[in-house]
Amino acid sequence: MSLLDIFSDSSTVVLIVNAVLYAKHSTSKDLAYRYFSIYLILMAINQILVTVFFELVIDNTFLANTYMIAQFVMLSLFYYAIFKTKSLRKYILMVLTIVSILLGVQYAWTPSLFFNYNTIGIITTSSILIFYSITYFFHHIGDKELKLYLVNSGILFYLLGTILLFSIAKAGLEIEANIEIALWILNAFIFLVFQITILIQWIYDRKKINSK
């Protein structure tokens, strides 16, 4: 088993565990937890389909697009719920609407793009979410208890890695096969760290609830 397989399989397992653990929050009155829980559930379903299609030797590239769209929508709603400033929340809804429409137009104009990696879409949506993540730190840095601090840190770390990988691909740089594989291994490792961070957040929150 290759290093890529180890990181990919491990991250899938931890993702599914996280989805199960956070599932109880999917109907929570706390919108931040609700949206993030739904995000994890959708990501787990998407990842399971990726694995099944891979084992059946069926092209699963289109699932990268469903992943990107679901991630952008649910994490945008997550930040909408977690921000306290009304102006920022309105801005998030506006950007979510505009980008969703543009993505819809893009796929309608070039349907074949849905079955390929939408590099522009991935970089754009990831960049927006990175901006939300950084803004959240700056606007709530003085809070004694920053809600889902580790989750936000994980999102920032993971999306920066995604931006790096797809920016290199977009640049069209000619790289050797072993370097390309190394980049995918790095991406899988970053995603694994992201999922572990989410799990640590759940353990931390659980201990805090039990202590009360």
Q: Which tokens is 15 given?
A: 């993702």
Give the pLDDT confidence of 14-56 residue by residue, as tens digits. 999 999 999 988 888 899 999 999 999 999 999 999 999 988 9
Question: What is the value of pTM for the model shown?
Answer: 0.92
Residues with Cβ within 8 Å of residue 92, at least 6 apart in sequence: 76, 79, 80, 83, 132
Give the pLDDT confidence of 53-62 residue by residue, as tens digits. 988 988 998 9
Give 170's pLDDT tier (boundaries 50, 70, 90).
Answer: low
Residues with Cβ within 8 Å of residue 116, at least 6 apart in sequence: 61
Give the pLDDT confidence of 72-120 residue by residue, as tens digits. 999 999 999 999 889 999 999 999 999 999 999 999 999 999 999 898 9
Assigned domain for 23 exists: yes
Give 169's pLDDT tier (boundaries 50, 70, 90).
Answer: low
Assigned domain for 47 exists: yes
Give yes or no for a contact between 75 and 129, defined as CB atoms under 8 angstroms apart: yes
Give yes or no for a contact between 71 and 36, defined as CB atoms under 8 angstroms apart: no
Give yes or no for a contact between 28 and 39, defined as CB atoms under 8 angstroms apart: no
Assigned domain for 111 exists: yes
Residues with Cβ within 8 Å of residue 16, at least 6 apart in sequence: 44, 47, 48
Assigned domain for 148 exists: yes
Assigned domain for 212 exists: no
Q: Give the domain range for residue 35.
A: 3-207
pLDDT of residue 173: 55
Report phi then psi at 54, rounded to 5.
-65, -45
Assigned domain for 74 exists: yes
Q: Which tokens is 69 given?
A: 């769209």
DSSP string, 60-80: -THHHHHHHHHHHHHHHHHHH
pLDDT of residue 138: 85
- Rounded Cα distance between 110 and 125, Å, is 18
Number of H helices, E strands in the chain: 7, 0
Judged against a pLDDT cut of 80, whether residue 209 lies above it is answered with no
Domain of residue 20, CATH code: 1.20.1070
Q: Give the whole-number percent of the chain exceeding pLDDT 70.
A: 91
- The whole-chain average pLDDT of the chain stands at 89
pLDDT of residue 164: 84
Give yes or no for a contact between 118 and 158, defined as CB atoms under 8 angstroms apart: no
**Number of separate domains in the chain:** 1
pLDDT of residue 171: 60
Q: What share of the chain is helix, strand, coil (3-state, %, to 5)?
A: 85, 0, 15
pLDDT of residue 92: 97
